[in-house]
């Protein structure tokens, strides 16, 4: 469990299904409101999403984790880490399948806390690479991931959104999880120093 200022990040339990579903619906209505009709976003169902998360939390593959972020005991974000199923990545690759936060906590460090925990989970699971897919036009998210050292690796795809009536053009980002070796004659960076990062959402 990670505690960063007022943000607590922990692994989700089956009882968190509805709270995570509420975050999922709220964050999608926020992040897609300039792309889709209001009626399409209003049609998102917390009840149906709860059922999906309840099933997913009960059937997590080995090495996977759903992480939930809380402030003052309220779920305000979540992330999903799993083994990558892409054929074009090396063995030992984790994928950040999703990372969402609610609009009211944007810029308050919740995304950073989730990302830090996702990276640590992948490392603890013995993975050496972390990838993720991001919408090409999502400049804020791309900037956030690049601050962590992630870079486009050349892979692209187009696919229908899982629940929304829209097509997504995505690019894949990748980063190594291997510890960096200090150059001869230099001191390793302090583990207490953390980059200043503006969360994507």
CA distance linking residue 64 with residue 16, whole number of Å: 16
Model confidence pLDDT, tens digit, residues 156-170? 999 999 888 889 999
CB 23, CB 16: distance < 8 Å: no
Q: How confident is the model at residue 195 (pLDDT cuts 50, 70, 90)?
A: very low
Model confidence pLDDT, tens digit, residues 71-113? 999 999 999 999 999 999 999 999 999 999 999 999 999 999 9
Section 189-194 average pLDDT: 38
CA 49 → CA 52, 56, 99, 163, 175, distances in Å?
Answer: 5, 10, 16, 9, 30
Model confidence pLDDT, tens digit, residues 120-129? 999 999 999 9
The CATH superfamily assigned to 2-176 is: Gcn5-related N-acetyltransferase (GNAT) (3.40.630.30)
In the predicted structure, residue 191 carries a pLDDT above the cut 70: no
Question: What local confidence, expressed as pLDDT, does residue 34 receive?
Answer: 84
Q: By C-alpha distance, which of 82, 69, 72, 60 is closest to 20? A: 69
Q: Is the pTM of this model over 0.75?
A: yes
Q: Mean of the per-residue pLDDT values for the chain?
A: 89
Q: By C-alpha distance, which of 95, 34, 102 is closest to 68? A: 102
> Domain ranges in the chain?
2-176
């Amino acid at each position: 469990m990670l505690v960063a200022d007022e943000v607590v990040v922990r692994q989700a339990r089956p009882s968190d299904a509805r709270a995570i579903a509420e975050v999922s619906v709220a964050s999608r209505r926020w992040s897609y409101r300039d792309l889709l009709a209001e009626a399409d976003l209003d049609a998102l169902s917390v009840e149906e999403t709860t059922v999906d998360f309840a099933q997913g939390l009960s059937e997590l593959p080995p090495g996977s984790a759903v992480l939930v972020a809380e402030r003052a005991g309220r779920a305000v974000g979540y992330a999903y880490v799993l083994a990558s199923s892409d054929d074009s990545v090396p063995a030992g690759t984790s994928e950040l399948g999703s990372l969402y936060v609610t609009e009211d906590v944007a810029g308050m460090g919740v995304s950073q806390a989730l990302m830090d925990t996702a990276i640590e989970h992948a490392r603890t699971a013995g993975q050496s690479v972390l990838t993720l897919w991001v919408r090409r036009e999502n400049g804020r998210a791309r900037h956030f991931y690049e601050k962590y050292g992630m870079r486009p690796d050349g892979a692209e795809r187009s696919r229908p959104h899982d629940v929304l009536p829209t097509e997504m053009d995505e690019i894949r980002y990748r980063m190594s999880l291997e510890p960096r070796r200090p150059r001869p004659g230099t001191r390793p960076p302090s583990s207490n120093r953390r980059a200043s990062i503006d969360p994507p959402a």
